[in-house]
Structures are given as structure tokens and as C-alpha cells.
Amino acid sequence: MDMLTLSNVEKHFGEKQVLRDVTFSVPEHTVFGFVGQNGAGKTTSMKIILGLLCADGGEIRINGLPVRYGNTTTNRYVGYLPDVPEFYSYMTPGEYLGFCGKIAGMTEKEIKSRTEEMLCLVGLKGEKRRIKGFSRGMKQRLGVAQALFGRPKLLICDEPTSALDPVGRRELLHILESAKEETTVLFSTHILSDVEHICDEIAFLHEGRIVLQGSLEEVRKRKKEAAMEIETERAQDAKALRSVFPFLKGIGRNSLLLEDTKGMPDLLRFIADKNMAILRIERQEAALEDLFMEVVLNESVS
């Protein structure tokens, strides 16, 4: 089942159209990457999903129910982590989560067990420092704990990793990946390596339009031509191959890249004739970044 669906969503700010026919769906218990450059329309889409902005057209459903602007019924299914979460900084993380539980009307017993569970999930168990002494990464992790506290069916995170260092990013990505066991995660980002690490499905938004979507595998297959990597046992063989086939690129002492596979038969014949020892011939995985650039450039030309 799809936890979230957007169908033909449109949005203008004055004369400017910022979302055009945006259509995608997020299957239950997946991590979904909502990818786009600055200004692509990610935050606007998220605000519409949360009922905070009114779409000019189209339909959004969360857990099968339509989202209505200004009506927060569907938000009972949603946990939201803004890009810069705000806290009462004089509280400890346990006190803060307890406070959130009280506002949500949970019982003392429920609050205690959920606080422990969430602090454990985000690696803040036993943390007695006040939030004001927290690093950005710790604050972001606490934000996830708070967003997940009420057991939402859908967790929406707006650029959760963009301000974090590599360690903080890795920790947060790991938490989002583990969260999909109990919820569905939609996160916006422009960091494509984050998407490659944890997303099951992705949608690329470019100038308000979805230009590519599908599972990571499906999207990668869209790359027109995947290069082949060839690794020779001896460095001198790699050198010899490069001198005979100048279209080969050297990517290491023993490794070569063949970008246009039309040259493959001649190359293989030569390798066999010369009895060269080859350790590996492998299709190079298309990097999302190259793919994104390919799609974006095509869009700009057409």
C-alpha cells in the first residue's frame, strides 16, 4: 500500500509556477528520497503535504485520506522534522520528550517507555546534558526522536543531513534507515550520496516538475550508457592497452575505463591475442549525480 500519494499537484506564487503536475507515491515502510536543487520546490511540496500551504490543483492522500489545507486531520499520521528543529534548550532530551508526550496526552507509563525506546534509537540514551550543549547532529537526532514519538505512519524530514558533518550525517542516515521498520520515511535532500546510501525509492524534482522517479535500481538503469571498468593483473598491460586503444581512460595503475562499449569486441580480441591476465571486467554503477546532471541538462535543452 502507498502511505503517501501526490497526484497532479500544482502551485503558483503569484505569476510564478513552482510545482507542475507533481505526481508520485511513497510505498509503506520505505525510505523515499525527494531530491532536488535549491529552489526546486521541495519545501513547498512538503508544506502542502502538511496542509500548511494550499495547492492550486491536484490531490494528496496520506494513508488513504485526502489532505485538506488548514485541516490537520491527516497530520495525526505524520511526524515532521523541519530543517532546523527548535527545542526548549534548558531541558534534557528525556525531559523534552516527556514534555512532548504530555502535550500529546500520553499516559506516564507510555511516556516513560517510549522515551527510553526513542532515546535508544537515536543514540541519546543516558544523556543528561541539557539540549543547549548539544551539537547540531545531536539536535537533529533528538528531532527525529520527537518526530517519531507519537508513532506516526509517515515521517517527513526536510533536508535532515544538509548541515551535518560526515559522522553526524552517517548517524542520522542510519537512524532513518532503521525507522522504516515502524514507519515510512520521506526526506528531501540535494545530497545524492545520502540517497544512494539509504533510499529504496526516489523522485527527482527539477524546476517544480518530477523528471525521474522509481526504485534506485530502476533509476540507475535509465543512465544511457554505463561505462565498463577493466582491471589487468599487470600494470604494463594496462599501459599497453591504453597505447593501442586511446579511448580507454586510466583510472589507476591497473584499471581502465571504457565509456563507449562499442570498442569492446576489438579490445577483447586484443586481450586474448596477447594473452593478458584480466582480473575484472565490470559494468560501472551509474552514479546518481551523473544521472541527475544528465536528466537536468536534457530538460534544459528540450
Ligand X SMILES: Nc1ncnc2c1ncn2[C@@H]1O[C@H](COP(=O)(O)OP(=O)(O)OP(=O)(O)O)[C@@H](O)[C@H]1O
Residue 22: CB partners within 8 Å, gap ≥ 6?
A: 6, 8, 9, 10, 41, 45, 58, 205, 208, 209, 210
| 9 sits near ligand X (criterion: CB under 6 A) | no
CB of 23 to ligand X, least distance (A): 17
40 binds ligand X (CB under 6 A): yes
Binding of ligand X by 54 (CB under 6 A):
no
Residue 14 to residue 108: CA distance in whole angstroms: 48
- Write down the least CB distance from residue 20 to ligand X, Å: 12
Window of 40-48, 113-121, 194-202, 286-294 that interacts with ligand X by CB under 6 A: 40-48
Beta strand 154-158 with 78-81: parallel, antiparallel or unpaired?
Answer: parallel
Rounded-to-integer distance, Cα 294 and Cα 204, Å: 12
For residues 36 and 93, which CB has a smaller minimum distance to ligand X in the complex? 36
Q: Residue 292 and residue 289: Cα distance in Å, rounded?
A: 5
Q: Give 79's strand partners.
A: 155
**Whole-angstrom distance, CA of residue 46 vs CA of residue 32:** 13
Pick from 3, 4, 6, 18 the residue near ligand X by CB under 6 A. Answer: 18
Q: Which range in 32-40, 84-92, 111-119, 192-200 contacts ligand X by CB under 6 A?
A: 32-40
Single residue of 22, 33, 42, 187 touching ligand X by CB under 6 A: 42
Cα separation, 69 vs 92, whole angstroms: 35
Residue selected from 38, 275, 300, 302 as contacting ligand X according to rule CB under 6 A: 38
Q: Tell me how far, at minimum, the Cβ of 64 lies from ligand X, in Å.
A: 26
Does 184 contact ligand X by CB under 6 A?
no
Distance CA 62, CA 79 (A): 12
Please report how close the Cβ of residue 67 comes to ligand X at its closest, in angstroms. Answer: 17
Q: Which residues bind ligand X (CB under 6 A)?
A: 13, 18, 36, 38-44
